[in-house]
């Protein structure tokens, strides 16, 4: 059997993106070359891993069964290659991560613990930034990857969607008791004393777009740039915060609660990195960790 680690890395990437075009970009290949590679691996294994139509790519039952084995092989190979390089160079490699404030508060500390356990000879740094600034740090080469909203990433960068983050209301007990709103409705939202992030922020963009689709303009009672400031004003009874769930979760407690809204807008959270660079070993670990953690945090 002639299945190289490189081929398995490509299969692993395709299984995560379920997109031939995205995987071709990530792995620096052409789409025809990617198709030939997938076909050769399937022939070597004697089974079909993916089904492909003009609209979607899906793992077959055999593919789903084999995926954990493939991921383990790729992970072990990349870890050992990394150790080999570090031993040969005698130098620590630096990894810079840019992330949203809510992710820095809830996710990044545990992510760094996980990465440092597996990549002990790496130096990690974190830049807390808004989505636009985080993406800019990646584009300028000041961050190796960013963990942020990925719905509006420009085509010169590559991104992987990890999880969706639904918008919720952040309320004090009185707000929940006296304003029994159950589902997303722009007209109902417009009647509430809403405290939101300022214009130009990633979180605010989603709300503005949702209102525009209904022919309305979003006019919050207050616009603040800091999550803690929003929490303090809500706690003092000045209104209700309108935030992505992950941002709200960083603030709950001390008499603040989350109110879920049916059919509320969702933002896609994921990893942004420079295009046409092969997916580094540590990013595979980061992606796997983020998938599990974000699913847990956003349930």
Q: Per residue, what are the HEC states of the chain?
A: CCCCHHHHHHHHHHHHHCCHHHHHHHCCCCHHHHHHHHHHHHHHHCCCCEEECCCCEEECHHHHHHHHHHHHHHHHHHHHHHHHHHHHHCCCEEEEEEECHHHHHHCHHHHHHHHHHHCCCEEEEEEECCHHHHHHHHHCCCCCEEEEECCCCCCCEEEEEEEEEEEEEEEEHHHHHHCCCCECCHHHHHCCCEEEECCCCHHHHHHHHHHHHCCCCCCCCEEECCHHHHHHHHHCCCCEEEEEHHHHHCCCECCEEEEECECCCEEEEEEEEECCCCCCHHHHHHHHHHHHHHHHHHC
Domain coordinates in residue numbering, the chain? 1-90, 163-267
Closest Cα to residue 144, out of 130, 125, 128, 161?
125
Is the pTM higher than 0.95? The answer reads: no
Please name the fold of domain 163-267.
D-Maltodextrin-Binding Protein; domain 2 (3.40.190)
Structure tokens, 80: 């050992």
Please check whether the two domains, 1-90 and 163-267, share a CATH topology: no
Distance from C-alpha of 207 to C-alpha of 209, rounded to nearest angstrom: 5
* Cβ(130)–Cβ(100) below 8 Å: yes
Highest-confidence segment of 196-200, 225-229, 262-266: 262-266
Distance from C-alpha of 275 to C-alpha of 26, rounded to nearest angstrom: 7
Mean pLDDT across 40-56: 90
Q: What is the pLDDT of residue 78?
A: 77
Mean pLDDT score across all residues of the chain: 85
List the CATH code of the domain at 1-90.
1.10.10.10
Q: What is the pLDDT of residue 265?
A: 93
Q: What is the pLDDT of residues 68-116, one digit of tens each?
A: 888 888 877 877 777 677 667 766 677 888 998 888 888 888 888 888 8
Phi, psi for residue 134 in degrees, rounded to 5? -60, -45
Q: What is the pLDDT of residues 123-173, one digit of tens each?
A: 888 999 888 899 889 888 888 889 888 877 777 788 888 888 999 999 987
């Amino acid at each position: 059997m002639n299945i190289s680690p490189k081929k398995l890395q490509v299969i692993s990437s395709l299984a995560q993106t379920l997109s031939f075009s995205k995987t071709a970009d990530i792995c620096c290949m052409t789409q025809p070359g990617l198709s030939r590679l997938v076909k050769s691996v399937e022939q070597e294994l004697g089974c079909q891993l993916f089904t492909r139509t003009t609209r979607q790519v899906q793992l077959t039952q055999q593919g789903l069964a084999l995926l954990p084995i493939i991921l383990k092989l790729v992970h072990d190979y990349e870890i050992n290659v990394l150790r080999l390089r570090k031993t040969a160079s005698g130098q620590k490699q630096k990894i810079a991560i840019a992330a949203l404030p809510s992710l820095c508060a809830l996710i990044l500390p545990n992510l760094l613990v996980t990465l440092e356990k597996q990549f002990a000879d790496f130096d990690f740094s974190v830049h807390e930034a808004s989505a636009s600034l985080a993406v800019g740090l990646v584009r300028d080469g000041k961050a190796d990857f960013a963990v942020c909203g990925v719905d509006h990433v420009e085509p010169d960068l590559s991104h992987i969607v990890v999880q969706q983050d639904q918008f919720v209301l952040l309320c004090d007990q009185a707000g929940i008791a006296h304003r029994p709103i159950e589902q997303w409705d722009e007209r109902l939202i417009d009647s509430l004393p809403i405290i939101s992030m300022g214009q130009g922020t990633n979180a605010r963009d989603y709300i503005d777009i949702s209102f525009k689709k209904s022919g309305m303009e979003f006019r919050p009672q207050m616009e603040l740039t800091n999550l803690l400031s929003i929490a303090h004003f809500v706690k003092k009874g000045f209104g209700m915060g309108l935030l992505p769930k992950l941002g709200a979760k960083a603030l709950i407690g001390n008499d603040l609660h989350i109110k879920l809204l049916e059919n509320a807008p969702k933002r896609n959270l994921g990893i942004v990195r420079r295009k046409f660079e092969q997916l580094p070993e540590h990013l595979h670990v980061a992606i796997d960790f983020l998938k599990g953690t974000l699913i847990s945090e956003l349930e």
